[in-house]
Amino acid sequence: MHWWIELREGLRIAWDATRANKMRAGLTTLGIVIGIVTVTLMGTAIQGLKRGFNQSISALGSDVLYLERYSWFINSHEEWIRQNRRREITWDQVRGLQRQITSARAVAPTVNTARPVKYKNRSASSVMVIGTTDQALYTGGTSVANGRFLTAGEAEGGRPVCVLGAQTATNLFRGESPVGARVYVGGYPFDVVGVLEPQGEFLGAFSLDNQVIVPIGQFTSLFTQRPDYAIHIKARDMDSLEDTREEARGIMRKLRRLAPGQDDDFAINQQDQFIKTFDKITGTIATVGIFITGLSLFVGGIGIMNIMFVSVAERTKEIGVRKAIGAKRRAILVQFLLEAAMICLLGGLLGLAIAAPGTLLLRKVMPATISLSIVGLALLVSLLTGVLAGFLPAWRAARMNPVDALRNE
């Protein structure tokens, strides 16, 4: 009860004092404003990146290994040159792996290229053409919206059929039913047997829906002379991913006739690598952001401390009067802490008011919205800055000797 009454009185005084010195409070709070704008935009940007990333990354199965000639992330030019000298992964190696591997749930070789796709007089340029087998339905994160996927029989030859990505289907068919129609992929006729569910963009770089899936046999005979296969291997479950990886590696080394001690001349990629790289990027953004935030909050905090010293000096007499009529140290301390916190909180609110339209700019490049947790964080940080910066001046005020304080004019 007692503290509540004192707190309310403290708030009242703080509010009066802040209102009486609007200009001063506004200028002082600038550092806090900048800090809060930075922390809010950074937090929002990271959340937005994460959201976009999680959407994209689900296109890569977490329990799928991608055995390819190149690593997804190459860190140096030398490494790139070395990997560029590697031999292609051949059809024989694909078959060998498929035959020998025991720990995989599904194995799907894929090859891809970009070709125009035509339907009647409409055409879509540079559609991702993917040659694969019926197994891709299990290794990919896709499912069929309309019609069906490739069958095992179709996969290696026979009829020229295809499955369209969602966007390619809408672009070419504009509401007509694509299933059963004939499209021309790179000039060759294919019958549409199915349409995939929409998958969205991959890291904002390209659409996963702008694609057409054709049997791998058709692909190699029509679109490429020297195919370089990638093999998607789905493990039985997450726990056996490492075992599957080791088995695939062993088989591949044998098939590619690598001597013991020789480095792998192929890469086994997995989703995990993307996540690690992504975490590194967001980590860097966060570090830079926290540094800028910390710096501006520090500078802002010093400003607040300064202005609070001024405020305490100006109101020495008032402190004396309050002490004379019975204010204890705690009451004076709380009064000035509240004033500092209030100025900082106003700075925080101002920062949020500036960051809100800033988020609209961010939204042009990523799915960004200010979340409640970020607003809470921003306000907490500004409050904390106020309390920390205000402590020394408030402490000095609280410890003032009433006789000396009253003598002050």
> What is the DSSP pairing of strand 211-215 with strand 122-132?
parallel
Q: Is 316 a residue that touches another protein (CB under 8 A)?
A: no
The per-residue DSSP string of 362-374 comes to HTTTS-----HHH
Interface residue with another protein among 180, 260, 261, 326 (CB under 8 A) is 326
For position 22 contacting another protein by CB under 8 A, the verdict is no
Does residue 122 sit in helix, strand or coil? strand
The single residue listed with the structure tokens 């702008």 is 210
Single out the residue of 82, 328, 365, 376 in contact with another protein (rule: CB under 8 A).
328
Nearest to 211 by CA among 309, 119, 298, 112: 112
Give me the helices (H) in 115-240, please. 136-139, 152-155, 166-173, 216-222
Quick one: 361 or 403, whose CB is closer to another protein? 403
| Residue 2 binds another protein, judged by CB under 8 A | yes
Q: Which of 118, 232, 234, 323 binds another protein (CB under 8 A)?
A: 323
What angle do the packed helices 271-314 and 30-57 form, to 10 degrees? 170
Containing H/E element for 162? strand 161-164
Orientation angle between helical segments 30-57 and 329-362, nearest 10 degrees: 50
Which DSSP category does 204 fall into?
T
CB of 391 to another protein, least distance (A): 18
- Say whether residue 1 binds another protein (CB under 8 A): yes
Two tokens, residue 173: 């068919």
Beta-strand (E) ranges in 203-294? Answer: 206-207, 211-215, 230-235, 267-270
Is 51 a binder of another protein (CB under 8 A)? no
Report the distance separating Cα 201 and Cα 63, nearest Å: 21
Considering only the stretches 8-16, 80-88, 196-204, 376-384, report the one whose residues sit in contact with another protein under the rule CB under 8 A: 8-16
**Residue 20 interacts with another protein (CB under 8 A)?**
yes
Of 159, 190, 183, the C-alpha closest to 169 is 183
Minimum gap (Å) between residue 343 Cβ and another protein: 17
Compute the least distance from the CB of residue 25 to another protein, in Å. Answer: 15
Q: Does 395 bind another protein (CB under 8 A)?
A: no
Q: Does 205 bind another protein (CB under 8 A)?
A: no
Nearer to another protein, 10 or 43 (CB): 10
Among 205, 238, 259, 325, binds another protein (CB under 8 A): 325
114 near another protein (CB under 8 A): no
CA pair distance 231, 6, nearest whole angstrom: 71
Residue 136: what residue type?
A
Which one-letter amino acid corresponds to residue 234?
K
Both tokens assigned to 97? 């792996």
Binder among 6, 201, 228, 265 for another protein (CB under 8 A): 6
Residue 23 lies near another protein (rule: CB under 8 A): no
Q: Is 318 in the site for another protein (CB under 8 A)?
A: yes
* DSSP classification of residue 267: E
Cβ proximity to another protein: between 32 and 400 the closer is: 400
* Cα gap 122→126, rounded to integer Å: 13
SS3 state at 239: helix
Q: Determine if 327 is a binding residue for another protein (CB under 8 A).
A: yes
Site membership for another protein, residue 406 (CB under 8 A): yes
Q: Of the ranges 35-43, 111-119, 236-244, 395-403, which one interacts with another protein (CB under 8 A)?
A: 395-403
Query: Quick one: which segment of 16-24, 44-52, 343-351, 363-371 binds another protein (CB under 8 A)?
Result: 16-24
Smallest gap from Cβ 331 to another protein, in A, equals: 6
Tell me whether residue 324 or residue 360 sits nearer to another protein (CB atom).
324
Q: Which is nearer to another protein, 11 or 383 (CB)?
A: 11
Amino acid sitting at position 24: R
Task: Give the binding site for another protein (CB under 8 A).
Answer: 1-2, 5-6, 8-9, 16-17, 20, 317-318, 320-331, 399, 402-403, 406
